């Protein structure tokens, strides 16, 4: 009977821990993430990125709007480290998509994490959980002069 009571207690603790799992939506600085090694080592410079309403040359043509929704493991990572890694993955995805579509830029990039939209030149949204986190970025692939 004691074993059954202990098992029931363990299950209740596990369930209550899951119910209080962290799920924060953080506004993080774009500049800091763009200057991280995760981005610098993986963005090759052939595609230009413009966030929010940043000024850019008038596109010769636009090639579609695309979303990069990337998750990363947050276990043992600070919010900053996890968010930066997820941001880098999303930026790499946008870079690859722009190349695939024949563009040389992604313009009007905004955060669209879990239907929370943020159009900003300076910040992006990162969903930081206990074990996982993510960044979703949406932008328009374009051919700029």
DSSP letter (8 states) at residue 1: -
* pLDDT exceeds cutoff 70 at 12: no
* pLDDT exceeds cutoff 70 at 18: no
pTM of the complete model: 0.84
Q: What is the radius of gyration, based on Cα positions, of the chain?
A: 19
Per-residue confidence at 20, pLDDT binned at 50, 70, 90?
A: low
Q: Which residues contact 120 (CB under 8 A, 6 or more apart)?
A: 27, 30, 51, 52, 110, 111
Q: Which fold has domain 22-143?
A: Translation Initiation Factor IF3 (3.30.110)
Chain segment 55-85, per-residue pLDDT in tens: 999 999 999 999 999 999 999 999 999 999 9
């Amino acid at each position: 009977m004691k074993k059954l009571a202990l098992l029931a207690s363990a299950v209740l603790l596990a369930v209550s821990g899951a119910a209080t799992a962290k799920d924060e939506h953080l506004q993080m600085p774009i500049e800091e993430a763009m200057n991280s090694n995760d981005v610098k080592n993986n963005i090759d410079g052939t595609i230009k990125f413009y966030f929010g309403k940043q000024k850019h040359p008038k596109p010769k043509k636009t090639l579609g709007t695309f979303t990069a929704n990337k998750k990363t493991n947050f276990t043992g990572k600070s919010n900053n480290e996890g968010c930066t890694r997820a941001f880098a993955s999303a930026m790499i995805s946008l870079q690859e998509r722009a190349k695939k579509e024949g563009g040389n830029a992604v313009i009007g990039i905004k955060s669209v994490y879990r239907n929370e939209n943020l159009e900003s030149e300076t910040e992006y949204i990162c969903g930081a959980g206990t074990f996982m986190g993510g960044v979703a970025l949406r932008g328009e692939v374009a051919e700029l002069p």
